[in-house]
Amino acid sequence: MEGKERPVPVPTSITRRYWDSVNAEALAIPKCGDCGAVHFYPHALCPNCMSPNLGYVPVSGNGTIYSYTIIRSPQPAFKGMEPYAVVNVELDEGVRIMANVRTDDVEKVRIGVRVKMIYEQSTDDLKIPQFVLA
The structural domains of the chain, with segments of one domain joined by +, span 10-58, 61-134
pTM: 0.89
* CATH of the domain spanning 61-134, picked from 2.40.100.20, 1.10.3980.10, 2.40.50.840, 2.60.120.10: 2.40.50.840
Mean pLDDT, residues 59-64 taken together: 96
Alpha-carbon distance of 134 to 125, in angstroms, equals 27
For the chain, percent of residues with pLDDT exceeding 70 = 97
Residues 5-42 have pLDDT tens digits of: 788 899 999 999 999 999 999 999 999 999 999 999 99
- Residue 2 above 70 pLDDT? no
Alpha-carbon distance of 100 to 115, in angstroms, equals 11
Residues 90-118 have pLDDT tens digits of: 999 999 999 999 999 999 999 999 999 99
Using pLDDT thresholds of 50, 70 and 90, give the confidence band for residue 74.
confident
- pLDDT at residue 1, as a whole number: 40
Phi then psi for 16, rounded to 5 degrees?
A: -55, -45
- pLDDT at residue 13, as a whole number: 95
